[in-house]
Structure 1
Amino acid sequence: MPSTQVSGTGSKESATTVRPAAATAPGAAALFANPVLPGDFPDPSVTKIGDTYWASATSSNWGPAFPLLKSKNLTDWQLVGHVFPDKLPAWADYYFWAPEITQEGNKTYVFYAAHKKGGNLAVGVASADRPEGPYRDHGPLVGQPDGSIDGFPMRDEKGQLYLIWKEDGNSINQPTPIWAQPLNETRTALTGEKTELFRNTAPWEGNLVEGVSMVRHGDYFYAFYAANGCCGHNCTYGTGVARAKSLLGPWEKNPANPIIKATAAWRCPGHGTVTQGFDGRWFLLHHAYAAESFENVGRQGVLSEFVWNADKWPEFTVSSTATPAANPLSTRPVVDEFTGSALGLDWQWPIEDKPQFALRGGQLRLTAHPDKGGAALGRHTLTATYTATTTLLAPATLPAGSTAGLAAHGDPKNMLALTAGGGKLQLWERREGKQRVLAETTLPATTSKAVQLRMQVSGGNSYRFAWSADGQTWTNPLANDGAINGQFLPPWDRGVRVGVLAEGPTSVTAAFERFALNSQ
């Protein structure tokens, strides 16, 4: 059986639409471009509600927690909100992972993993009367000492509702059982006893199996799962499948596993959800790293099609002409003029440090923060090569001890930035929490009203910064137009965000005009 996935690379759209280049609705043609969710959308989940597909994905340590996206065709997605847009669940603090969005009756449920305050990872659940929310959190369902993640609801052959999840044994060099336990109909508590379905036993699975998504087809329950190393440049992830005639087993693994593995275009494919298209075709929406950008952009949402073969196993298909003829990276820019009454849904912030900000008269006004590299707002990057620009207003009014500007955010401990403040322009890095100035110049008088800041990135991690007083003549603070290696920026489970920051006392407010991101 071929082990492959749909090839192609993708693009982005301005405002709140996430759109692949040259995409064609799966119901209309055999070919479509990946990624269908460009940007950092790990562990994507999808379900059908009425005539619409709804999806979510891991947000990890970026807020708001868990994006909510909708589509009519699985390829054109619109970001319409978040499960937890403002207030996080009281029991959890960070690592908001692997949401599983499902619908039954008139209720939408999102099962998710998060780090329990004072404890370990646990699986929780939230519900809403509409898929767009608002969602009410019901707290954690299971939190084992080693950690519990990747919750998935499934009814057995008798109609009994179960929660399927992974025990996070790999965190302490132990096996990773996949458990099933009865779940009450309100999805608020587990009942009965848990049963192990399977664990990591095959050599290709390495130290873990996880991310189970189940579907019942014909005589069998099928568990699509991910295995081996999920994240980072040395990841080894792949996708397998197991089946059983009864939910509680016995389970047999496909001898052809892994049924999706790395290609030249996409690396480390895994952790997704099965869905059947309105045209009857079958898909797995999962994540993978684009080989060009890898961990710098992060794990992007990829759609892979499969059929059921004569042996009653899923078999993934690909056409030799699946790569789009048009340049999939030729896309229109993302632009935010800050003219609305609220910040666009694409903007994110460190999950534990939401900054204070407001939109006023076409300006983003960001209140400074004295710690952790400052108050930060960022957006997904989409390709390995891009240019980001913004205008900082009245930089001369920022007092000594404060600074604001354009930044590449890995996390609060790791960033690169070009900022103004205290009469100076500074290019600096923050690495493992230690901040260091790389170049500094006196703030020219021509920039008293505004200074334009630019970041040019190539190859995913080569950064060039520049400033301009008029948007025509640009100056790199480093000699010889030097570049900075930003390989240190991406955390192990996240891609880089680009955006703005303001560092200093909370009495200081920085004003920005227009932010643009142009990918190549």
Structure 2
Amino acid sequence: MSFDFESAPSFDLVPTVDSSTDYAAVDAPLVDSTPTVAPPVEAKPTNYANIVLPGDFPDPTIAKIGNTYWASATSAEWGPVFPMFKSDNLVDWELVTHVFPGQLPDWCDANFWAPEIFYEGGKTFIYYTARKKNGPLCVAVASADQPEGPYTDHGPLVGQRLGSIDGFPVRDEHGDLYLVWKEDGNSKKKPTPIWAQRINEKRMGLVGKKVELFRNTEKWEGCLVEGSAIVRHDEYFYMFYAGNGCCGKCCNYATGVARAKSLLGPWEKCPQNPILDKNKTWKCPGHGTVAEYEGRWFLLHHAYYTDSHEFVGRQGILSEFTWNAEGWPEFDGRSPQAAPLPDLSVLNVTDNFTSNQLAQTWQWPVGEQPEAGVSDGQLLLTASPVGLGAMVAQRTFAATYKAVTTLDFANLAPGTFAGIGAIGDHANTLSLMAGDQSLQLWHVKGGKQECLTKIAVESCKNLSLRLEVWGGQRYRFSYSADGLTWIAMPTESFAINGTYLPPWDRGIRIALLAQGPATSTVAFNHFSLRNKR
């Protein structure tokens, strides 16, 4: 899979509902590839107005280690937790590993947000947010001898009663290391102070007293300020921060900046705030980290693409800024600069399971890593009797797309169901499941599960299942015994309304599912995801 952001002309990607589209046509043969985030390029690019982390990658962070840039992003409720990408030009990113590729730290179980990469003394530190089991949100730290890991977790540094999130490590004007974080007061309708407190020399604990830097006081900031990212330029520390509502259909996030000559203040907010706001292409830009490349300054931040919005999630984009005569950072037009992706097919995914292990782009619900392996061109997924069962999932990249899988139907054990589904979270899903010589449409909304349709299906060796989505809102499932002739599952209308699927903070995933006794294994022969205009 390749990403050529510069050669093709731009166009607006407008999701449409077209019942005349012939989705029954078989795709032309495609080269089997392990899904990656970005391709190599022949020469250093000069255009940085790009989607660099397409798909659901909120709260991106970036750090330069040696001659290589490293990036990560929020994982939320999907494992493996905290992807680690590398790049030599800020545009083309390779997924290398994850901070927590398997087992999670013992102390936490949810809300894996806002990692920050910090390199010092030959070690890489990841300061991150997670929720303590039966407790508050905390800022914690993990470390490794090299950025690709393996990482050792050292537990939480701070977890206030209202919650502590978005930790950012920075050295002050005297060389002392501090953690800057947000107290999550908005979760309880309280103010959201930004705090700073010294980190000990082992970089794994807080010492001394915390100091408030500032809080949400301006109208545009709404109920919160958060997502601090601090850089020193000339005589000032500059804090890029986000304000207002981050997520979902009604978000109004934007980016501001404040500065101070001393890390502990006093801090002055820019009179032109917000310095980065929505435009026709991108909505709710915020929570980023600053990077400098060849004398140019960039903010790697997230935003919703307006034509796919909450159905895909918050994507990682670069916006370049300069320093104006008053010493403030300034974005051209105060808008995100990434152009719409001209060719969505570069984000298509094909996996024929020919590798010797599961591709790193597959995900699963946090804390529910399935027993999954690849052998002889098949994904072997051990079933689970709980809920929808075991699952592995892929991010989506557009609001209109087609996903297909083929499963070994002949060897499906009695009482075991396997299929494909659109997953918002455990409580909100749509899936087509095959088992016990039947096909069933499973509908889960608000945690309530029902079977919308059930039909008998004749025995066959392989059974192909297809999910088609229009505009993130309408969902249709079909099946084929020969991979050529597709039969739509009967429903009351042409398509099922799936507008309820996305959680407030995440995009939709497409999952392969195995539900049944833990003694059963389901074999999938193929998976593809085709993005549509």
TM-score category (smaller protein): over 0.9
Corresponding position: 1:187 with 2:203: yes
Contact 2:277 2:336 in 1 (8 A): no
CA-to-aligned-CA distance 1:188-229 (integer Å, 9 cap, x gap): 110111100000000000000000000000010000000100
Moved more, 457-466 or 253-262: 457-466
What does residue 494 of structure 1 align with? 506
Moved more, 460-469 or 126-135: 460-469
What does residue 462 of structure 1 align with? 474
Residue identity in the other structure for 1:411: D
Corresponding position: 1:135 with 2:154: no
Match of 2:322 among 276, 293, 307: 307
Q: Give the Cα separation in 2 of the matches to 1:335 and 1:28.
A: 27
What does residue 140 of structure 2 align with? 124
CA-to-aligned-CA distance 1:62-105 (integer Å, 9 cap, x gap): 00110011111111111111000011111111110000012113
Residue identity in the other structure for 1:121: L
Q: Give the Cα separation in 2 of the matches to 1:198 and 1:23.
A: 43
Q: Give the Cα separation in 1 of the matches to 2:178 and 2:205.
A: 11
TM-score, scaled to structure 1: 0.93
What does residue 36 of structure 2 align with? 17
Match of 1:265 among 259, 265, 281: 281
Matched residues, percent identical? Answer: 57
Distance of aligned partners of 1:43 and 1:9 in 2 relative to their CA distance in 1, 3 Å threshold: farther
Q: Give the Cα separation in 2 of the matches to 1:14 and 1:185.
A: 45
Residue identity in the other structure for 2:286: G
Match of 2:169 among 153, 160, 166: 153
Distance of aligned partners of 1:87 and 1:225 in 2 relative to their CA distance in 1, 3 Å threshold: same
Distance of aligned partners of 1:87 and 1:464 in 2 relative to their CA distance in 1, 3 Å threshold: same
Residue identity in the other structure for 1:239: T
Q: Give the Cα separation in 2 of the matches to 1:169 and 1:395.
A: 55
Q: Give the Cα separation in 2 of the matches to 1:388 and 1:505.
A: 26
Unmatched tracts of structure 1, length 5 or more: 1-6
What does residue 424 of structure 1 align with? 438
Contact 2:279 2:335 in 1 (8 A): no
| Paired residue secondary structure (1:274) | strand
| Paired residue secondary structure (2:187) | helix
Unmatched tracts of structure 2, length 5 or more: 1-9, 14-31
What does residue 131 of structure 2 align with? 115
Contact 1:14 1:332 in 2 (8 A): no
Q: Give the superposition deviation at 1:32.
A: 3.6
Q: Give the Cα separation in 2 of the matches to 1:190 and 1:81.
A: 28
Contact 2:276 2:336 in 1 (8 A): no
Q: Give the Cα separation in 2 of the matches to 1:325 and 1:152.
A: 31
| Paired residue secondary structure (2:53) | coil
What are the residue-to-residue correspondences of 1:411-490 with 2, within 5 Å? Answer: 411-445=425-459, 448-479=460-491, 482-490=494-502
Distance of aligned partners of 1:33 and 1:118 in 2 relative to their CA distance in 1, 3 Å threshold: same
Q: Give the Cα separation in 2 of the matches to 1:151 and 1:378.
A: 29
CA-to-aligned-CA distance 1:316-346 (integer Å, 9 cap, x gap): 1269997769823242631111122211100
Q: Give the Cα separation in 2 of the matches to 1:140 and 1:329.
A: 40
What does residue 57 of structure 1 align with? 73
What does residue 389 of structure 1 align with? 404
What are the residue-to-residue correspondences of 1:1-12 with 2, within 5 Å? Answer: none
Contact 1:113 1:150 in 2 (8 A): yes
Contact 2:282 2:336 in 1 (8 A): no
CA-to-aligned-CA distance 1:134-192 (integer Å, 9 cap, x gap): 01111100000000000000111110110000000001100000000011121111011
Corresponding position: 1:82 with 2:98: yes
CA-to-aligned-CA distance 1:14-70 (integer Å, 9 cap, x gap): 5242139x9998x642x3453210000000000111111100000011001100111
Residue identity in the other structure for 1:405: G
Corresponding position: 1:165 with 2:149: no
Q: Give the superposition deviation at 1:413.
A: 1.6
Distance of aligned partners of 1:332 and 1:38 in 2 relative to their CA distance in 1, 3 Å threshold: closer
Contact 1:227 1:239 in 2 (8 A): yes
Q: How many residues align?
A: 505
Distance of aligned partners of 1:195 and 1:359 in 2 relative to their CA distance in 1, 3 Å threshold: same
| Paired residue secondary structure (2:370) | coil
Q: Which runs of 4+ in 1 moved over 4 A?
A: 7-10, 22-25, 318-326
Q: Give the superposition deviation at 1:387.
A: 1.1
| Paired residue secondary structure (2:94) | strand
What does residue 395 of structure 2 align with? 380
Residue identity in the other structure for 2:437: G
Contact 2:407 2:526 in 1 (8 A): no
Distance of aligned partners of 1:362 and 1:326 in 2 relative to their CA distance in 1, 3 Å threshold: closer
Residue identity in the other structure for 1:114: A
Q: Give the Cα separation in 2 of the matches to 1:123 and 1:325.
A: 35
| Paired residue secondary structure (2:62) | strand
What does residue 515 of structure 1 align with? 527
What does residue 224 of structure 2 align with? 208
Q: Give the superposition deviation at 1:300.
A: 0.5
Contact 1:35 1:300 in 2 (8 A): yes
What does residue 360 of structure 2 align with? 345
